[in-house]
Structure 1
Amino acid sequence: MMKKKKLLITALSSVVLLCAAIGGGTYALFTSSAQNTGSTFASGTLSLTTHRNDVPVEGPMFYTNDSDAGRMGTGLWAPKDTHTRAMLIKNTGTLDAKLTDLVALPEGTSDQQAAALAFGEQAVVTVAALATPGGVTLNADALNQVNEAADQLFKTLINGPSFTKAMARSGQEAFAIAREAVLDWTYRVNNNGQTVEVSVSDAYVGSLKDLYNGGAGRDANLPNLILPAKKTMHLAYNVTFVDDTGLAFDNDAIQGKSVNFTFKNTFEQVKNN
């Protein structure tokens, strides 16, 4: 019996990380679109659309200065800086989807890509899927409060003493500790007069460079990151520039660099896998 080919779809979001410590920078535009291969299937369709929650216009997710392309500029990056942005991915098809791969691609010339990967060795990425009971849709105010609370969680966690001590022993140990803490996090928010408890259904924590992995990215290995048909997934992206104290890398080595990464998320259909 011939095995049916899995249906794949890639939601693209352009993410820029600029100006480690000091220096000028550029930015890339966020692409509010989805690429798909064979989105029509005998058992249904898989179609994803993406948009940012942070600004009312398309723009980069992380960028140095406010502009017409986007707001919430980060300013110049320095060790211990951490920033969180939200990405909403809506499944407009009839098939449930699951996140299978996360990739961070360095952009620019070979020198710029080398600088980006050097920054990637010193940056930790957290991608968390935020969930509400029954998939309740949060209004804009509630969503912003949740994003701010998640940002504070990441700030406290990645720059905390437990994470730093674990990083000195083993990056994988530190990432595992951080992931468990993220999975245990809950936040109550007022949404249209009702209290809604927001939790994390699954999360990835690891180095930014590991998400490149020679262009292959990483198997997300997040079994709970399922995006049902007609539902929207709220992904919180956090990037933290880790302080080098007690660690093997040197923050000063990338001072003045401008770096640009594109995050790419790959989804597969759940049915017929």
Structure 2
Amino acid sequence: MTDSRPAWAQRIRVERAARGWSQAQAVAALRAHADVELPGQDSMLRRWKSWEAGGNMPDDFYRPLIARTFGTVTGAFFADPTRRDGNAEIIAATGMDTLDIISRLQASDVDAATLNALRITVDRLCSEYPYMPSAQLALQGREWLRRIAELQGQRLALAQHREMLAMAGWLALLVGCVEYDMKDRRTAETTRRAALSLGNEAGNSEIVGWAHEMRAWFALTTGDYRGVIAASEAGSELARGRPVAVQLAGQEAKAWARIGDRRQTEVALDRGRALLEVLPHPDNLDNHFTVDPSKFDFWGS
């Protein structure tokens, strides 16, 4: 028989059963992780039964508490993935399609609307990473990098210049990832360093953090676990409190797990978990440089 309950309700029951807890024991565990006193036992048991039955989704107070009780984060239990239509969003937000944007760039007409359209275009390209063939995505990413680079010779306000550098940094990160996927590792490392330089010049700590995350990823795939840890620590220091710091903690946890140091794995996971719980839920989970809370559970494996 097909289970029609919501995925979160099924998981609550599975996680409880995996630990051999009765529902009363699960409520006791919930109390142990709560910072405030919870309602009486009968009330909490009724609430728990309702959650497992999928009758009522836990509210904003109980969702993170349940996640913490089971050693994960809210987004992993109660994920809400979405898929955005980037092309439609560009037109809806700016009234311009890709050809309009290119025409404006060629005419050096860089106003607020053009910048916004460029910003959405970059987001769309970064969101195509799981879907578009690597060669095609690399080609498009390089083309937009070239167009943005050509504008650097134009007279731009300081804020516009920094914005352009940041968008070029995101595109360089994307192209570097795709190049690595295409086994062009030397070029990927060169592109990663270019992204790091652009992030530094733009004063964008998120881009800087992702450039270090790429270095950690490169090291992880080649078995250089100490290199992963070094890159993760360097990136975390520079991007403290930013979403990428969660991803860096995840890479560090993976490296410690491969080394076999369970304690350091848990330390890294705890650091990532604590930050992820206080960050707002991402607007676009398709963007390759967005931290997806639902993937948190896989980091220590």
Q: Above 0.5 in TM-score? A: no
Higher RCO (C-alpha 8 Å, min separation 6): 1
TM normalised by structure 1 equals 0.29
- Normalized per residue, which structure has more helix? 2
Point out the structure with max Rg over C-alpha: 2
